Amino acid sequence: MRQLLVINPNTSAHVTALLQQHVQREAGAGVQVQSVTARLGAPYIACEASYAVAAHAALDAWAAALAKPGSAAPDAVLIGCFGDPGLFALREASPVPVTGLAEAAFAEAAQQGRFAIVTGGARWVSMLERLALALGHQALAGIHTVAPTGAQLMADPQGARALLARACQEAAERWDAQAVIVGGAGLAGVAAAIQDQVRVPLVDSVGAGARMVLGAALPAPGRSRAGFDVHWQNVAAELKALGEG
């Protein structure tokens, strides 16, 4: 049976449970999904500082999962955050393919042509633009953020759906987008719920992440075995054990 490791790089166990539910549903019975929560950081990534710490948290969670007694080595890793903190570092250090919700959603939306993003939290605009540029996605037409953060949207599902439906339609019209990404681990399932209210295809970032990590179109792993080409100091024991001095 294939093994998939999903890393939630924030400290919210509720988000981890949501990821587990939706990724396992997408993966089906033939794949065993293990979702893990960051051991350090913030309950929600909402700024550059929390994003930077989340990258460390993703690497730490990965190392801890590999070191857990009795755990099978994963066949692939999915970073369960729309923003993919730690993506490039983890890909470089991992012996198995790695992707994230944003990378996967960008790739799926780009198949339709120009695409827009709708997500919560204004500070995500520059972070997502930077990531799209790093991944080579020129088809990103624009990013529409709603005032509530992802955590606040999760707290009011009914209100969130109405707000996000309007935002998606506005984004499609404003940028003449052929697809709109509903971005955020906490917004898993929302795209399907509001699709009939939006004139262009919506891409659920969690669903896209699951589909990409289970498919064949993944970047090759960075190395043949897990590890880093540095000697770590003052990090968790599991992460330190993967360092080389």
Of the candidates 178, 3, 55, the residue with the CA atom closest to the CA atom of residue 108: 178
Q: What is the pLDDT of residues 15-62, one digit of tens each?
A: 999 999 999 999 999 999 999 999 999 999 989 999 999 999 999 999
User: Does the structure show a pLDDT above 80 at 148?
Assistant: no
Q: What is the pLDDT of residues 81-121, one digit of tens each?
A: 999 999 999 999 999 999 999 999 999 999 999 999 999 88
User: Does the structure show a pLDDT above 70 at 222?
Assistant: no
pLDDT band at 73 (very low <50, low <70, confident <90, very high): confident
Mean pLDDT for the chain? 93
User: Does the structure show a pLDDT above 70 at 218?
Assistant: no
The span from the CA of 145 to the CA of 121, in Å, is: 6
**Could you give the residue range(s) of every CATH 3.40.50.12500 domain in the chain?**
2-101+212-240, 102-206
User: Does the structure show a pLDDT above 60 at 245?
Assistant: no
Q: Which residue has the higher pLDDT, 140 or 156?
A: 140
pLDDT band at 219 (very low <50, low <70, confident <90, very high): low
Instruction: Write down the pLDDT at residue 150.
Output: 64
Instruction: Write down the pLDDT at residue 70.
Output: 81
pLDDT band at 152 (very low <50, low <70, confident <90, very high): confident
| Class at the top of the CATH hierarchy for domain 102-206 | alpha beta
Q: Does domain 2-101+212-240 have CATH number 3.40.50.12500?
A: yes
User: Does the structure show a pLDDT above 80 at 154?
Assistant: no
Instruction: Supply the Cα-derived Rg of the chain in whole angstroms.
Output: 17
